[in-house]
Structure 1
Amino acid sequence: MVRLKTNSIVKLFLCIVLCICFLQLPHVNADNISNNAAEFTISPVYPHEQKEDDAGYFDLNVKKSTTVPVKVKISNLNKNQDIEYLIKVGNATTNDNGTINYTNFKNKKDTTAKYQLTDFISKTELKQKVTVKAGSSSEVTVNLKVPKQKFPGTIAGRIYVERLTNAYVNEKSGMNTRNHFSMTLPIILTEQAKVKRIAKMELDKVTVKNGPEITAKLHNVKPVMFGKLSIDSKITKKNHTKTLVHKSVNNYQVAPNSSF
């Protein structure tokens, strides 16, 4: 239970019950991603550290003090034009709706994380541009430099590929809009063949806003990636058991060392 300080006469209590049904990696859809309108596809070129050849994303078992080449194959489906692409690498985060986000590049490093994926990559490779000839393919390499010190649990991130050439400007209805086509491939890193997925969730803070609106910030303080998280929350008056507000959610997915 967490005590809430409000300006109202009645002070409320918030009780949040977490139920992690299965500590497992959430399903990731990333196998040879394609989009006809985007006119390109991306697919992983697996290094020997890959656990499963048909995973559709990078699921790597790495060793300390090694360099692992992560390659992405970009295929330009436009047979008449060379296309320029932007390639970026970022860390996995958890959205407020309980899904793992692979496209947020502005998040700060979590205070509980020993390492994040971007710690293993040089600044020059965190953001690259490449031009792929019409109707052909090209590979882009990001080298993961695994540190000397072992890291526990799981590190998660992604490679993001965006089409830059002809981003389809739409000037209909007097509005000038630009469509951006992008795709991502998740990267999962571990140093142990079997990772102990022991999760630990903490309630960082509770915020009371006008409305009224009460927001609870939950924090995964372990390098563990899991799904099927159930959250049961209740609000009562102080020293009372009657529930004033009740909300439950199920099947949330949580990235390692992240909050939502």
Structure 2
Amino acid sequence: MKKVLKLVLIVLMFAAGVFSFDTITAKAAVNDFQVKAILPSNNNPQSSYFDLKVKPNAEQTLRIRITNNSSKRQLFNVKPNNATTNSNGVIDYSLQAKKDASATTSFSDMLGDQTGKQVSVAGKSSATVSFKLRTPKQSFDGTVLGGFIIYSASAAEQAQKSKQSSNLAHYVIAARLVESTKQITPDLVYHGTKYVGTNGLPRIQVNLQNTQPTIIGDVHFKATVTGEGNKKVAKVDQKMLNFAPNSSFGYQLPTLNNQKLKSGQYRLNMTVKGDNGSWKFDKLFTVTDKDGKAAKIAKPGINWKQIIMWIIEGLAVLIVLGYIINKFRKWMKKD
């Protein structure tokens, strides 16, 4: 029995090793470094990121220290971006968003033509990257939100060769700029609903815009979509969302059980409650055959890894059962 159990254990360990190998190699691609904002005198002392009280037509330097913890020299990319809201309803600093149509100024405007910098850092040492920031002559109300995304270009090149680029370490340092403490009343505008496909899955995209220079925080988002015969096709109840100031975004609702939508008319009933405002929407929208084709919803794929694992596990069970049955027969013959 011990030999049989040993054989079964070897089979299962082999299977586990085969199907977890990609995870092991992915970890090796994550680069080892740290970043820190060197905070200026006009920074909020309670914040570890750039949280600046600025004046009109003023210039200052923003500095970031990068520490390379590895033993090898690395080349790092530092890219400034405007903050926006992504399809999950989260403030995102990595999407290279253009200035929203509702904004009078933006973080990228204040940095001018500084779209990014590279710095080479020796192993076990640090280096500083600087960006010149100039505020507009015209004063602005509310909050301007942006940030810097930092990653190792050396690790990115290495990961691309090994096809593990999705496991790279990226760090973000946010930048929040205000000139006054004037309270801004937010305004969330509805810009229609569209049936789309994301990674081959059906999604109902609700296009929204925060038109004011203020964060809508602590958002509780509730939405229900019904179709013909008042049949529910999507339901979302999400909390702790945050919408960036002056941002346009398509919040995506998954359909129930990832079912495709048929062509026809649908009703969206939606409530959005934030820490500084609430909004209700009751809207009709139409899904056409053309929309369905454009969405490019993928057919459910076959998970071959899972199937092979089931086969291996099934074989292991059969080996054990066969051994037990064989032992039982021998015992019966003795009697």
User: Take 1:228 and 1:139, find their aligned partners in 2: how far apart are those partners?
Assistant: 34
Q: Specify the alignment match of 1:41 in structure 2.
A: 34
Provide the rounded CA distance (Å) in 2 between the counterparts of 1:67 and 1:161: 23
Q: Does 1:113 align with 2:103?
A: yes
5+ residue gaps, structure 1: 1-35
- Count of residues paired in the alignment: 216
Secondary structure (helix, strand or coil) at the match of 1:223 reads coil
User: Residues 155 and 168 of structure 2 are in contact (CA less than 8 Å); yes or no, is this contact kept in structure 1?
Assistant: no
Quick one: percent identity of the two aligned structures? Answer: 26
Residue 207 of structure 1 corresponds to which residue in structure 2? 194
Q: 1:213 to 1:42 in 2, by over 3 A?
A: closer
The change in CA–CA distance for 1:218 and 1:167 in structure 2 (over 3 A counts) is: closer
Q: 2:67 aligns with which of 63, 70, 75?
A: 75
Can you give the 5+ residue segments of structure 2 that lack an aligned partner in the other structure?
1-28, 250-335
**Larger of the two Rg values belongs to structure:** 2
> Which of 67, 77, 96 is the matching residue for 1:86?
77
Q: TM-score, normalised by structure 1?
A: 0.73
Contact 1:154/1:195 (<8 A) preserved: no
State the AA in 1 paired with 2:49: Y
SS in 1 for 2:108: helix
Q: Which residue matches 2:254?
A: none
Once the two structures are superposed, the pairs formed by residues 124-203 of structure 1 within 5 Å of their partners are 125-167=114-156, 169=158, 176-178=163-165, 179-192=167-180, 194-203=181-190
Q: For 2:55 and 2:222, how far apart are their aligned partners in 1?
A: 39
Q: How far off its partner does 1:243 sit?
A: 8.2
Q: For CA contacts below 8 A with separation 6 or more, give which structure has more relative contact order.
A: 1
Q: TM-score, normalised by structure 2?
A: 0.58
Structure 1 runs of 4+ with >4 Å offset: 208-214, 234-238, 242-246
Which amino acid in 2 is paired with 1:92? A
Q: C-alpha offsets along residues 209-251 of structure 1, whole Å, 9 cap, x if unaligned? A: 699864321110101013111233345689x9x7856543322
Does the residue aligned with 2:183 lie in a helix, a strand or coil?
Answer: coil
Q: Over residues 108-159 of structure 1, what are the superposed CA-to-partner deviations in whole Å (9 max), with x where a residue is unaligned?
A: 3211011110001131x32111111222111111111011101110011111
From 42, 45, 64, give the equivalent of 2:56. 64
Q: Matches of 2:133 and 2:244 in 1, distance apart? A: 20
Q: Partners in 2 of 1:75 and 1:236 — Cα distance?
A: 52
Structure 2 residue aligned with 1:258: 247
Note if 1:97 corresponds to 2:84.
Answer: no
SS at match of 2:222: strand
Structure 2: distance between partners of 1:171 and 1:154: 37
Cα distance change on mapping 1:112 and 1:82 into 2, 3 Å: same
Distance in structure 1 (CA, Å) of the matches to 2:164 and 2:227? 50
SS at match of 2:77: strand
Q: 2:208 and 2:244 mapped to 1: Cα distance?
A: 12
Structure number with the higher strand fraction is 1
1:223 pairs with 2:216 = no
CA distance in 2: counterparts of 1:44 and 1:57, whole angstroms:
6
For residue 82 of structure 1, report the CA deviation from its aligned partner. 2.0
Q: Distance in 1 between matches of 2:157 and 2:225?
A: 49
Instruction: Return the alpha-carbon distance in structure 1 between the equivalents of residues 151 and 247 of structure 2.
Output: 25
Does the aligned pair in 2 maintain the 1:109–1:116 contact within 8 Å? yes
For 2:110 and 2:159, locate their aligned partners in 1 and report how far apart those are by CA, in whole Å.
39
Q: Does the 8 Å CA contact 2:52/2:176 hold for their aligned counterparts?
A: yes
Alignment of 1:235-254 (within 5 A): 235=225, 244=232, 247-254=236-243
